[in-house]
Amino acid sequence: MANPQTVVAQGTFDILHPGHVHYLEQAATMGEELVVIVARTSNVDHKERPICSARQRRDVVAALEVVDEAILGHEEDIFVPIEEIEPDVIALGHDQHHDDDAIEAELASRGIDCTVERAEPREPGHDGELLSTRLIIDRIIERRA
């Protein structure tokens, strides 16, 4: 059984940026322990493949102070780690592509009793701050091409 108020956050976390940090800081406030599931490259099918390896992305996320543990996701079934962790809360980023109702239905079908909550968006930064890996990559290409 999970510790009281275990929160799971998940994502790709390619080229970590302030938007990622904001999401994980908000997720950490939803409970006492934050476990982050970092998507395996093979499971990233809703956007471009990550630049960094899954292990590298996991290691960078694990280095953040707000993260208690960072693990790699399951290669075939993204709900397997959630079944193992048995969290109280699944924290989604404000703009993550996931369907909250579909997640809740899948959790119920697997007998996982937890809530799904969305983090609030981060206020825009200053000096052209980029809160998207895609935008960071685009800027690199623009400036280095």
Is residue 29 within 8 A of residue 7, CB to CB? The reply is: no
Q: Any idea where the domains of the chain sit in the sequence?
A: 6-144
pLDDT tens for each residue of 88-120: 999 999 888 888 899 999 999 999 999 999 999
Q: Which residues are annotated as a binding site for ATP?
A: 12-13, 17-20, 95
CA distance 44 to 33: 25
Q: 3-state class of 45 per DSSP?
A: coil
Q: Report the topology of domain 6-144.
A: Rossmann fold (3.40.50)
Q: What is the pTM of this model?
A: 0.90
What are the binding residues? Answer: 12-13, 17-20, 95
Is residue 16 a contact partner of residue 32, using CB atoms and an 8 Å limit? no
How does pLDDT run across 10-36, given as a tens digit for each residue?
999 999 999 999 999 999 999 999 999
Task: Report the pLDDT value the prediction gives residue 4, as an integer from 0 to 100.
Answer: 60
